[in-house]
Amino acid sequence: MFSSNLIRLGGLAAVTAGVLLLILDVWGLLLELLGAYPENFSEEALTTTYTVQSSLWLIGALLLLVAVVGLHARQSEAAGALGLVGFLAALIGTGLLVGFMWANAFIPPTLAAEAPAVLDNEPTRSLAFGFLLSIVVFGLSWALFGVTMLRARVYPRVAAILLIIGALIVIAPLPATGLVIEAALIWLGVTSLREGRAPSTGRVGAETQPRVQ
């Protein structure tokens, strides 16, 4: 049985990550619509906006690692073996996302200063494949995690469905595709914070039953 503190911590991480990533998605979408991004990526990577955004994206991804542990903790007994598989898959997918965000935060500014042409040209096939793989695995793994939530019936059904849909949308190469999964994370996190304990699925033991005189 996982502790209620771990469940609450996971819920808080889910809410914080969801809110932070949602703000970043909306922020990025507004900058895109306003045409505020520099024409060349090498120029963008040296701006304060890029530094702040990429750092916050990394923090949000790290919070997701805590969130997935806490969210699984609350449904671990009810979700069974499939729940464990979904949890491990989401943990791996999130780990890949953290690596992607780490690279995005630290590598482009260095290249922009030393070799800007590398950033302004199309990425190599292996690099493009690596980035695509990280996003696809993250999306599919969280969709599977959402399926385990749907089966376990510990979290609100609509929130679990929203998580599945949002995780699949993330795979699409479009701006602000994370809005749905971020909303689902906030909902699931609030649920964990309100409940604060793992629901019991076992029956009352014989030793706790009153004896018949």
First vs last Cα of the chain: how many Å apart? 34
0.95 exceeded by the pTM? Answer: no
3-state class of 173 per DSSP? coil
pLDDT classification of 205: cutoffs 50, 70, 90: very low
Question: Cα dist. 15→55, 80, 111, 181, 191 in Å?
Answer: 18, 25, 34, 12, 10
The sign of the CA dihedral 99, 149, 81, 6 is: positive
Structure tokens at 162: 């929203």
Domain extent listing, the chain: 4-197
Q: Say yes or no to pLDDT of 1 above 70.
A: no
Q: Strand, helix or coil at 158?
A: helix
pLDDT, one tens digit per residue, over 21-58 is: 999 999 999 998 998 889 899 999 999 999 999 999 99
- Per residue in 143-152, pLDDT tens? 999 999 999 9
Q: Which residues make Cβ contacts (< 8 Å) with residue 169, sequence separation at least 6?
A: 139, 177, 178, 180, 181
Range in 58-72, 84-98, 123-137, 197-211 with the lowest mean pLDDT? 197-211
Q: What is the pLDDT of residues 52-85, one digit of tens each?
A: 999 999 999 999 999 999 999 999 999 999 999 9
